[in-house]
């Protein structure tokens, strides 16, 4: 059942615009900590706020507190009727990624997944023209996001049969790779679904109430991809499609997927979606003790995460923080 937000919103940081990321357990905590560090290293002038649920444990809170990372409790959102995500358990948490729409104490919220890595400053998203809260979700620029890739490159059998390269918005950009670095395909392209990993939001209780109503509606069984299914259903074509560089899904880089548009040097925000995550790799990678054969089987983009994390660990060690995260 959907839960209501805090009735009296209060900022936990002294900034009208913030990055946020959802954390429900410690499995993603190493990702969150490196995400926060990468925002700082990229020179962002805006703070990250960790949105935690009741399931987030004490050792997680201690890790955030030691590092001075701001945090805010948010409800664990669930639809009124249960939706089976046993094939993709990660989607059970994804409904709660819609809570930034309720954070009306802020003028702008950019929600990031904790398995992201910021490689270049993207503070411009804080000033991207979007509908104001007075539009109440009725305008044509309700939020901004990059498209979801619907190619299903891992050929997961439980994905919809429509998830094929011919229906992918990114496929429409293969003939114009230069443009793809600066512009997203129209929000109506392909299956017209945003990826929920990065959402640029102007908080509005009216918009949030539309979302809560949808969570309590009778379409839940058709929302195969949780938050992003709801957003595409509620606001069809009424969102701003960002270029892939702001939510560079690691699968886009793979040969034969969307390497036609991918350029390493243009990526601003890497998204390590699917498993395994970089931090799930053997401890030997942390110490740079892997051999050539081990290295051949890795996704080369994972090394970007390890480079930033090693810098973070070095700084934390100097402050006496060595908790394994």
- Short-list 81, 242, 254, 26, CA closest to 153: 254
Q: How would you classify residue 316: left for phi > 0, otherwise alpha for psi between -120 and 50, otherwise beta?
A: alpha
Least confident of 46-55, 69-78, 116-125, 184-193: 69-78
| Sequence-ordered list of residues with C-beta below 8 angstroms from that of 208, at least 6 positions apart, any chain | 5, 98, 101, 102
- What backbone phi and psi angles, to 5 degrees, belong to 65? -65, -40
CA 296 and chain centroid, separation: 28
pLDDT tens digits, one per residue of 12-68: 999 999 999 999 999 999 999 999 999 999 999 999 999 999 999 999 999 999 999
Q: What is the pLDDT of residues 134-157, one digit of tens each?
A: 999 999 999 999 999 999 999 988
Residue ranges covered by each domain of the chain: 17-274
* Confidence at residue 2, expressed as pLDDT on a 0 to 100 scale: 43
Average pLDDT of the chain is 88
CB-based contacts of 204: which residues, under 8 Å, 6+ apart? 101, 104, 133, 135, 136, 137
Write out the two tokens for 59: 């050792």
- Nearest-angstrom CA–CA distance, 135 and 142: 8
Match 């802020």 to its residue by tokens.
106
Of 30, 71, 65, residue with least CA distance to 48? 71
The dotted CATH code for 17-274 is: 3.90.550.10
pTM: 0.90
What's the pLDDT band for 8 if we cut at 50, 70, 90? low
Give the total residue count for the chain: 325
Burial class (CB in 10 A: 0-12, 13-18, 19+), 312: buried
d(CA 55, CA 256): 39
Residue 290 confidence (pLDDT) above 50:
no
CA distance 97 to 51: 9
Q: How confident is the model at residue 229 (pLDDT cuts 50, 70, 90)?
A: confident
């Amino acid at each position: 059942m959907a839960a209501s937000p805090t009735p009296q919103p209060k900022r936990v940081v002294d900034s009208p615009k913030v990055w946020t990321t959802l954390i429900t357990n410690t499995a993603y905590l190493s990702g969150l900590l490196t995400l926060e560090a990468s925002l700082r290293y990229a020179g962002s002038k805006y703070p990250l706020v960790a949105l935690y649920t009741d399931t987030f444990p004490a050792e997680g809170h201690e890790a955030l507190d030691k590092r001075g990372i701001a945090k805010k409790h948010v409800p664990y959102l669930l639809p009124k009727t249960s939706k089976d995500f046993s094939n993709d358990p990660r989607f059970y948490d994804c409904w709660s990624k819609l809570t930034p729409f309720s954070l009306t104490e802020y003028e702008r919220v950019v929600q990031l997944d904790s398995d992201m890595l910021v490689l270049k400053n993207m503070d411009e998203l804080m000033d991207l023209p979007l509908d104001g809260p007075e539009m109440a979700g009725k305008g044509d620029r309700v939020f901004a996001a990059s498209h979801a890739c619907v190619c299903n490159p891992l050929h997961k059998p439980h994905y919809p049969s429509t998830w094929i390269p011919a229906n992918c918005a990114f496929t429409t950009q293969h003939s114009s790779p230069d443009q793809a670095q600066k512009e997203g395909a129209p929000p109506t392209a392909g299956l017209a679904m945003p990826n929920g990993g990065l959402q640029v939001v102007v908080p509005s209780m009216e918009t949030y109430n539309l979302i809560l109503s949808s969570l309590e509606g009778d379409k839940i069984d058709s929302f195969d991809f949780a938050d992003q299914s709801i957003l595409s259903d509620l606001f069809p074509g009424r969102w701003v499609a960002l270029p892939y560089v702001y939510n560079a899904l690691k699968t886009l880089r793979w040969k034969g997927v969307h390497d036609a548009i991918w350029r390493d040097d243009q990526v601003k925000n890497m998204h390590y979606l699917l498993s395994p995550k970089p931090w799930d790799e053997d401890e030997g990678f942390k110490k740079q003790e892997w051999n050539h054969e081990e290295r051949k089987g890795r996704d080369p983009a994972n090394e970007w995460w390890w480079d930033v994390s090693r810098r973070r660990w070095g700084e934390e060690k100097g402050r006496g923080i060595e908790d394994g995260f």
